[in-house]
Amino acid sequence: MTAPLLSVSDLRIVFDGRHGPLTALDGVSFAIAPGEILGVVGESGAGKSLTGTAVIGLLDPPGRISGGEIRLDGQRIDNLPPEAMRKLRGRRIGAIFQDPLTSLHPLLTVGEQLVETITTHLPVSASVARTRALSLLREVGIPAAETRIDQYPHQFSGGMRQRVVIALALCAEPKLIIADEPTTALDVSIQAQITTLLKRLCREHGTAIMLVTHDMGVIAETADRVAVMYAGRIVEIGPVEEVTRRPRHPYTAGLMASIPSVHARHAQLNQIDGAMPRLNAIPDGCAFNPRCGRVQTFCRENKPGLPPGLHGAACHVPLMEPVHA
């Protein structure tokens, strides 16, 4: 079995407030192998982006890691000093964020930004860096790269800007990429192009990708495995086909049932009643119990654990029958 590239063990994150600490992540554990895409999915507030932020070392006060550990290639990185973590970002861990306009400097050409990133992390000259920048732009599908390398971000469409951001993430050949909602701001056809590009780059470079999204459709098309998060915990994890076709947690089943079917007509879409709990109002026992149609008395009293194995769900009464789209 391939050793994991990224290993997150019992990660706990709290936010210190006036009335005491609030737990935002509660015992999150997962691993990603080289060349694997792990999708992390859930509603807003589930803890998806916070997990990625912690991995990349961008967690700001009042948030702090209160327990657990993060290892990259066997090296523990969650306790590194800020300067060591800064050197790690870009070189060994790349990032793709939701809005490319917030990731690109509006007053610098895309070529200047690519060359600066390359020369910061790799011992190469500016001319060699520019050659590599051109190669990256071609690789991510930017047409007429020789001309567009000297253009500014506002001269690119949203999809092209996201391709530039992916090129930036690949500049120093990182082993891991955190992709946080990389397709949310794009139309459907461009989303498909970006997900196809991510899969190809992952296979060709052997790069591991943590793909954070709320879109189960993107997960089904892109990821190898999926971790479903709810209220700061992973409630189900397993191979993407297993989880999407045979979900074991009622929350996962609800997410899948809310996706419109192209084969059947419905008067209205299914929905999960209620909303994600606030950090200061997470229920006892299973956090999903107020919204669950299968809730039992013990669900309100005991917090379920995530069982070991390829496909597991943190549920006292897991679903076992397949769910048909």
Whether the pLDDT of residue 140 is over 50: the answer is yes
Instruction: State residue 158's pLDDT score.
Output: 86
- Does pTM surpass 0.85? yes
Other CB atoms within 10 Å distance of the CB of residue 178 = 28
Q: Per-domain residue ranges for the chain?
A: 244-325
What's the number of CA atoms in the CB half-sphere (13 Å) around residue 131?
A: 5
Q: Across the chain, how many H-helices and E-strands are there?
A: 11, 11
Whether the pLDDT of residue 74 is over 90: the answer is yes
Closest alpha carbon to 54 in 232, 214, 263: 232
Owner of token pair 């990429």? 177
Q: What angle do CA 301, 310, 282 make, to 5 degrees?
A: 25
The secondary structure of 238-291 as a DSSP string is EEHHHHHHS--SHHHHHHHHTSPPSS---SS----SS-PPPGGGPPSSSTTGGG
Helix (H) or strand (E) holding 135: helix 126-139
Instruction: State residue 200's pLDDT score.
Output: 86
> What is the per-residue pLDDT across 262-310, written as a single tens digit (0 to 9) for each?
666 766 778 899 999 999 999 999 999 999 999 999 999 999 999 989 9
Other CB atoms within 10 Å distance of the CB of residue 259 = 15
Query: At residue 237, what is the residue type?
Result: I
> What is the per-residue pLDDT across 121-136, written as a single tens digit (0 to 9) for each?
999 999 999 999 999 9
Average pLDDT of span 63-90:
94
Instruction: State residue 103's pLDDT score.
Output: 85
Q: How many angstroms separate the Cα of 324 from the Cα of each of 8, 79, 215, 279?
A: 32, 44, 18, 34
Please provide residue 117's backbone torsions phi and psi, each rounded to the nearest 5 degrees.
-65, -40
Please give the share of the chain, as a percent, with pLDDT higher than 90: 72
For residues 103 and 199, what is the distance between their CA atoms, to the nearest angstrom? 21
Q: Which pLDDT band, with edges at 50, 70 and 90, does 205 fall under?
A: confident
Instruction: Identify whether 62 is preceded by a cis peptide bond (ω within 30 of 0).
Output: yes
Please provide residue 299's backbone torsions phi and psi, each rounded to the nearest 5 degrees.
-65, -30
Whether the pLDDT of residue 179 is over 80: the answer is yes
Closest alpha carbon to 246 in 268, 262, 226: 226
The CA-to-CA distance between both ends of the chain, in Å, stands at: 33
